[in-house]
Amino acid sequence: MREKLYHIIEPQSKHSRISNIYDIVMMIVILLSFIPLIFRDDYPIFGAIDVFCVIIFIIDYILRWITADFRFGKESALSFVRYPVSVMAIIDLLSILPILIDMSGAFRAFRVFRLIRALRVIRVLKIFRYSTNMDILASVFRAQRRPLILVMLLAVGYILFSAMVIFQVEPATFGSYFEAVYWATISLATVGYGDIYATSFAGKLVSMISVLVGIAVIALPAGIITAGYMEEMNRRHRHDEDEED
């Protein structure tokens, strides 16, 4: 019985109609749970939506917990201990706790705890579990994590370095190093908000170099992800062909 449940709730574990329906229903519930978050005012219907969605999420969480031994491939009690600390289980829990705290009224006297409600937006990460394309994208990020981390470190290093340079050549414009880091980040991304910019010749020169480097650095992750995505698609295509043979 538990094994059948596992094959229903675990996306792509088996290409069965029931499993596909479960995935679609969960995707709809996740999207439905975002409706109260796009309005400032609270309406009674939003409370009902929150309660309905959190009940579904709790049921899904429990089902995944009681079938954890099939997920980790070990019929051992350790699987049930390991599951709550897995990435997706933590995401599931964070998507449930804010509404439970809000409904219970706990910490309501402390306004700072209302920030917990913002964690409900983490539900969007649950979509990765139910979407094949997003599952492919997640696989690409895992496979290409080293070059992506290298590019990220390169970008962070250049931001900190260029911020240090502009902070020295434009002391009148940048009152703090944080403002310089903000400028460097915007310049690297080639966004150009125009709220803070260099006015001296040296500052403008640094800005031009920063934008040129930014174009190159921003293009690198796109190329890595695209190449990785095509490689993953080809790998899965070959795998499907081998299974058919």
- Which parts of the chain fold into alpha helices (H)? 2-9, 17-33, 44-66, 68-71, 77-82, 87-104, 127-130, 132-143, 145-169, 177-188, 201-244
pLDDT on residue 164: 92
Q: Are 116 and 98 in contact (CB under 8 A)?
A: yes
* Pairwise CA distance, residues 191 & 37, whole Å: 27
Q: Is residue 140 part of a domain?
A: no
Q: Is residue 139 part of a domain?
A: no
pLDDT tens-digit map of 172-211: 888 889 999 999 888 888 777 778 888 888 888 988 888 8
Both tokens assigned to 231: 């490689």
* Pairwise CA distance, residues 94 & 74, whole Å: 26
Does 68 lie in the same domain as 93? yes
Mean pLDDT across the chain, nearest whole number? 78
Three-class SS state of 144: coil
The mean per-residue pLDDT over the stretch 29-47 comes to 81
Does 183 lie in the same domain as 154? yes
In total, how many domains does the chain have?
A: 2
Structural domain range at position 15: 2-130
pLDDT on residue 128: 64
Does 166 lie in the same domain as 117? no
Does 123 lie in the same domain as 33? yes
Does 178 lie in the same domain as 111? no
What CATH number did the domain enclosing 209 receive? 1.10.287.70
Q: Annotate 166-179 with b (16+ C-beta within 10 A) or e (fewer).
A: bbebbeebbeeeeb
Does 98 lie in the same domain as 7? yes
Q: Is residue 10 part of a domain?
A: yes
Q: Is residue 184 part of a domain?
A: yes
Q: Is residue 135 part of a domain?
A: no
Does 160 lie in the same domain as 111? no
Does 113 lie in the same domain as 41? yes
Radius of gyration over every alpha carbon of the chain, rounded to an integer in angstroms? 24
The mean per-residue pLDDT over the stretch 154-176 comes to 89
Q: Is residue 20 part of a domain?
A: yes
Domain's final residue, options 130, 164, 184: 130
Does 156 lie in the same domain as 93? no
Does 160 lie in the same domain as 55? no
Query: Mean pLDDT lowest for which of 59-68, 96-105, 201-210?
Result: 96-105
pLDDT on residue 223: 86
Does 87 lie in the same domain as 16? yes
Does 112 lie in the same domain as 200? no
Q: Is residue 157 part of a domain?
A: yes
Both tokens assigned to 130: 């139910």
The mean per-residue pLDDT over the stretch 160-171 comes to 90
Q: Is residue 137 part of a domain?
A: no
Domain's final residue, options 99, 130, 161: 130
pLDDT on residue 9: 80
Q: Are 232 and 143 in contact (CB under 8 A)?
A: yes
Pick 169 or 112 by higher pLDDT.
169
Q: Band of the pLDDT at 74, cuts 50, 70, 90?
A: low
